[in-house]
Amino acid sequence: MGTNIDKGGVINLYNIFILFFVGLGSMSYGYAASVISITLGQPSFSDYFNLATAKNGTDLEATMNGLFQAGGVVGVLFLPFFADKYGRKMAIAWSAILLIFSGAFLGGSVNIGEFIFFRFISGAGAFSILAAVPIWMNEVVPARLRGGLVTLHAVLLVTGYASAAWVGVGFFFWQDPKGRQWRPPLALQCVWPLLLLSGLYWIPESPRWLVSKGRTAEARTILERLHSDKKDNLHSYALKEFYQIQKQVDIENTLQGSWLHIFKKPSYRRRAFLAIATTFFVQCSGVLVINNYGPTLYKTLGYTTVMQLIYPSIWLTVGIVFTALAIPLVDRFPRPKYMACGIAGCMVTLACEAAIVARFVPSQNFPALRAGVAMLFVFEVFYAVFLDGTQFGYLGELFPTHIRAKGICLGVATISLTNIMWLQSAPTAFITIGWKFYLVLIIPGTIGSVIMFFFFPDTNGLPLEEIAAIFGDADEVAVYQRDIDMNDIAIGAVGHHMDAHTSSKASISQVEQAVVAYTTPGNTTNV
């Protein structure tokens, strides 16, 4: 079963299955990142650690969020070591192990120091898997649907957010005389990464990473299965992509890929700054402030403790629906303009929210307070449809294979760094300056949307091996897919074969044999 996508490969049931399965990693991030929101909203948690009575209670809450983000920075910057040396799947596995380990200790914490330390470890695992999943996804999906398919990462991470929120609501009503309601939701952080690890062995490795390690037969077999289509028995698209990847890897193996070189080479440095700016501007939307401090925001708007838990859960559930709606939309528009419109929409809704809080909080004007809740839901529509998944597809497209892991991790590390700033300051800011804190998000976010709209390059629909040309590195593009035919593939294969036998030229009969070999379904031998 397969559907041609404008000569850009196919999407079949196998593609969908593996994307959703690896998406368990996305859910792992969403749950781990969101569980603190419901934990802080649990009176039993506050009572156990005396947060309500401690002089530094607000600071401790901010530290729980801040160290989670700090762990994310540390963890994600180490991730390329695993992703480049041991494979994209190993990077996912390592991240999952950190989440399992930290989730177990968070659920069993007996003092605030232990809890905060394992929040740091949890952040390292969560942000590592937030980067590892789109590294893999970007390298296995067809070019024409890359943005939409990578958006599955966002759909499932929001599902993780929502599952944490509803678990929190359920355990809020559990009457435990020992006050342990806050523990099970934290321990349940282990579930998604455990499920992921149980089947990760059978998920295919990135064919691009395999080719870079000389494992070409495995890569070709995987590409043929990824692009399997009954209308294409010769696997022509898979063979063209395989040929292009091989040629590109031959060039990239001669290029430097260190962190230092990324910032020394002008074209790589530009890509790095684009990655940093993209995630910084997206995080200026304030989405994690709204998510992590949701109960605080709804408390400000005058809602009861129960509604402070229920409204964020509904907010996240709505987010799943609208993020899914982005899948058929994202590949229809230029990436930067699409994201810029999303950021602008978020800024408008935050401005409306700030005006409502400034004018009507505190008050008994219930219609106005309900309008404040409505603005948070409108915000979610803009963020989910335009930003949440698109940013991860764009990050993966900016970088060539030999530095893609570092590039995506650089962007994800910026998410962590930006949110350290927002989440550390938010509790104190909401108390001291109130609605004015929204301006701290609105001003840079608005500026960023303008910059992104007019100055960021579009990567939509291009094969990953051809994007270098956008950044002035046309000499690093080995071959364009539109120029490849089956004779090119056969001659290239024979050339490698003849080089191995110290011969300088292939005969016509050898080319013919190569064509037959390369167009035989299921053939994985080197010609």
Q: What is the pLDDT of residue 168?
A: 83
Peptide bond into 362 cis (omega under 30): yes
Q: What is the pLDDT of residue 363?
A: 75
Bridge partners, residue 320, by sequence = none
Distance CA 133, CA 153 (A): 7
What region does 376 belong to: left with phi over 0, alpha with psi -120 to 50, or beta? alpha
Q: What is the pLDDT of residue 520?
A: 54
Distance CA 94, CA 129 (A): 8
Three-class SS state of 2: coil
Q: What is the pLDDT of residue 295?
A: 67
CA end-to-end distance (rounded Å), the chain = 29
Three-class SS state of 3: strand
Amino acid at 253: N
In the chain, what are the domain boundaries?
A: 13-474, 485-518
Establish how many alpha carbons lie within 13 A of residue 78's alpha carbon, considering only the half-sphere containing its beta carbon: 16
pLDDT in tens, the chain (527 residues): 444 434 456 688 899 999 999 999 999 999 999 898 778 877 889 889 988 888 888 788 878 888 999 999 999 999 999 999 999 999 999 999 999 999 999 999 999 999 999 999 999 999 999 999 999 999 999 888 999 999 999 999 999 999 998 998 888 788 777 778 889 999 999 999 999 999 999 999 999 999 999 999 999 999 999 988 777 777 888 888 999 999 999 999 999 999 999 999 999 999 999 999 999 999 988 887 777 666 667 777 777 777 877 888 898 999 999 999 999 999 999 999 999 999 999 999 999 988 988 888 777 787 877 888 888 899 999 999 999 999 999 999 999 999 999 999 999 999 999 988 887 777 778 778 888 888 989 999 999 999 999 999 999 999 999 999 999 999 999 999 888 876 666 555 544 444 444 433 444 444 445 545 555 545 544 44
Contacts of residue 81, Cβ cutoff 8 Å, sequence gap at least 6: none
Q: What is the pLDDT of residue 203?
A: 97
Distance CA 125, CA 113 (A): 19
Establish how many alpha carbons lie within 13 A of residue 336's alpha carbon, considering only the half-sphere containing its beta carbon: 17
For the chain, what percentages of helix, strand and coil (3-state, to nearest 5) are there? 75, 0, 20
Which residue has 């989730």 as its token pair? 103
Distance CA 465, CA 399 (A): 9
Kind plus residue range of the DSSP H or E element containing 99: helix 88-107
Three-class SS state of 11: strand
- The vertex-101 CA angle with 95 and 104, nearest 5°, equals 135
Kind plus residue range of the DSSP H or E element containing 4: strand 3-4
CATH superfamily of 13-474: MFS general substrate transporter like domains (1.20.1250.20)
Residues listed for the chain: 527
